[in-house]
Amino acid sequence: MTYRIQFVCLGNICRSPTAEGVMRGLVTQAGADIEVESAGTSGWHNGKLPDARSMAEAKRRGYDLSSQRSSQVSQADFDRFDLIIGMDHSNMANLRAIAPCGAKAEMKMLLDYLPEQPLREVPDPYYEDGFDQVFDLIEAACRAVLADVTAKE
């Protein structure tokens, strides 16, 4: 059965679209039966393309984010997805605040998949920059997510 993963950040224009694009690429390469989407907790950028800096970094690494549009996470997502992965503690708090009782989705923080990585949260690059470091973290963690999910199937 298809396994569904949603990546979540604040704006759904930097970190989670990058995770969606990378994970889709890895899933296609692996031929895994996994669907991948992303959303933001805020809805501030609904309908917008990913940030130009995220798209440029992704393009440099061979990933295309240009078909993605920002959307806001909804309560229905907790039953549509098997796994919802946030980027930082604030995302997780926002997700827990709207999660319906008895929701199907498991909730994880992305860098929990990289226990040896000293950073525990994916830094928000929107104001700080560092899109290349953020991409490295997300790519490494997505490889670990894929290994974990496929090992369970």
d(CA 83, CA 36) in angstroms, rounded, equals 10
Tokens of 121: 């949260």
Cβ closer to ligand 4NP: 20 or 124?
124
**Options 15, 24, 51, 77, the catalytic residue:** 15
- For the question of residue 14 being annotated catalytic, the response is no
Q: Least CB distance from residue 125 to ligand 4NP, whole Å?
A: 7
For residues 14 to 33, the per-residue mask of contacts with ligand 4NP, x marking binding by CB under 6 A and - elsewhere, is xx------------------
- For the question of residue 101 being annotated catalytic, the response is no
d(CA 97, CA 34) in angstroms, rounded, equals 26
List the beta bridge partners of residue 8.
Answer: 39, 86
Q: What are phi and psi of 107, to 5 degrees?
A: -115, 130
Looking only at residues 96 through 135 of this chain, which bind ligand 4NP when binding is defined by CB under 6 A?
124, 126
By CB under 6 A, which span of 8-16, 19-27, 135-143, 144-152 interacts with ligand 4NP?
A: 8-16
Tokens of 21: 């694009």
> Which of 12, 38, 68, 94 touches ligand 4NP by CB under 6 A?
12
Residue nearest to ligand 4NP (CB): 11
Tokens of 117: 């990585």
d(CA 7, CA 72) in angstroms, rounded, equals 11
d(CA 83, CA 102) in angstroms, rounded, equals 14
Q: Which residues are catalytic?
A: 9, 15, 124
Residues binding ligand 4NP (CB under 6 A):
9-15, 40, 44, 124, 126
